[in-house]
A = this chain, B = another copy of it.
Amino acid sequence: MSLRCEVLAVGTELLLGQVVDTNSAWIGEQLALSGIDSHLQVKVGDNPARIVQALRDALTRADAVVVCGGLGPTHDDVTRDAIAEVMGAELVLQPQLVEVIRAMFEARGRAMPEINSRQAMVPVGATVIEQRRGTAPGLVCPVGDRVIYAVPGVPHEMREMLERAVLPDLRSRSGEQASIVSRVLRTWGHSESGLNELLADVIEDLDGVGNPTLAFLASGIEGLKVRLTAKASDQRGALALLVGIEQRIRTALGSTVFGVDGETMESVVLDLLRERGLTLGLAESVTGGLVSARLTEVAGASTVLRGAIVSYASEVKHEVLEVPAGPVVTAEAAMAMAVGARRVLGADVGLALTGVAGPTEQDGQPVGTLHVGMAIGDEVTATSARLPGTRDQMRQFSVITALNALRLRLLDGAGPHP
């Protein structure tokens, strides 16, 4: 049984939604990668009694707690006091720690406000984690055979301290050497329940063993993710467990798997074009520039993407892209837009989107209609789809649907090759 560690994020601003707690998510990921189980993460306000209770509850369930935030100098920073109470220990000023903090201020040409000496209060029995980025030191606080780690809430201070001191200490306490390895297959083309049906055999086999585990995650414009997590005594063993299952999943899902882990549809499509020596020009209507904005988020997109014509007004479609007069939410218009974009932008490949995001229908076409036009070499084609969701979602789905159509065309070997 591996070490269990909970995370307690402290701050009234987190409960009120003024700040989103991203620290817990990051800590959770680090714990998982270190093979430490994290079954619960809690947010609590700047209230001493409630922090004490939350710490006590956590220590009944877990071997360790990382408490994050509430180590600042002001009156509402009460994490130190709460930990001292849980330890049943006194909080004592460490004069040499005051001098460290004072020196940090002086190095920035400022006098230390007296209030900052509060940050040098340490519960008797606790060990200090040296502060390198901010003025708040961290704390390692034994409670019986369990332990509380206190780290600052400022993300970059917290991360540095966790990597340098907390994770190594946790790993050394953890008796076992379990390694957890995770892989995400990104897919587009099946619904969550569709994936469930295609992978029914794999799921049944895994349910019997419980390792690796399999989960689906709908992530909008990021695709529908299939996450595999394997656990073994070392990284190699965990990877070996993954590989077999991954192959079964890839066989079942075929070309709907477009990427792995950090690969996005954008980066995959740009790579395919780059490998083939092709440049891209876009014509966007329904998405209003979103395809172009997403592609140019990828550093290095400029070697592939020439640009885009956002033809939001119909006149721009007719006059700039030379789409023939008539309705503009049709497969024919999408093909004409793709040809126009390729010509105006001097690109090898033209990709075009026209459709209806709502709130109301257009040209007699219902909300959700999408036509994707592609011009590659002599082949000009279109694919059409009916997409669900709100205006914003429909636009997001349009982006990944259009890029996926281009990806499948390129994989099919369509168009000119260098």
Taking Cβ atoms with an 8 Å cutoff, the residues of A that contact B are 12-22, 24-30, 32, 38-47, 50, 54, 57, 72-76, 108-109, 113, 115-116, 133, 154, 156, 182, 184, 191-194, 196-197, 203, 207, 215-219, 225, 227, 229, 279, 282, 284, 287-293, 295-297, 299, 301-302, 305-313, 315-316, 319-320, 344-346, 358-359, 368, 386, 388, 390-393, 395
Contact = CB atoms under 8 A, between A and B. Distances in A.
A43 B17 contact: no
B113 A194 contact: yes
Nearest to A281: B316
A227 B45 CA distance: 14
Given A21-B21, A39-B44, A316 B306 contact: yes
Contacts of A72: 192
A75 B197 CA distance: 11
Nearest to A133: B390
10 contacts: A15-B41, A19-B25, A39-B45, A73-B193, A292-B292, A293-B293, A306-B312, A307-B309, A307-B310, A320-B344
A288 B293 CA distance: 5
B16 A26 contact: no
A43 B40 contact: yes
Nearest to A309: B309
A227 B47 CA distance: 16
A367 to B, nearest CB: 11
Nearest to A225: B18
A238 to B, nearest CB: 15
B320 A345 contact: yes
Given A17-B32, A115-B193, A289-B308, A346 B358 contact: no
B312 A310 contact: no
A357 to B, nearest CB: 8
B315 A306 contact: yes
A75 B315 contact: no
B193 A116 contact: yes
A16 B31 CA distance: 8
B288 A19 contact: no
A299 to B, nearest CB: 5
Contacts of A57: 57
Contacts of A115: 193, 196-197
A206 to B, nearest CB: 10
Contact of A196 (B12, B73, B192): B73
B302 A312 contact: yes
A15 B38 contact: yes
A240 to B, nearest CB: 21
Nearest to A14: B25
A309 B282 CA distance: 10
B29 A16 contact: yes
B156 A393 contact: yes
B309 A313 contact: no
Given A27-B17, A40-B43, A217-B18, A392 B297 contact: yes
A344 B306 CA distance: 17
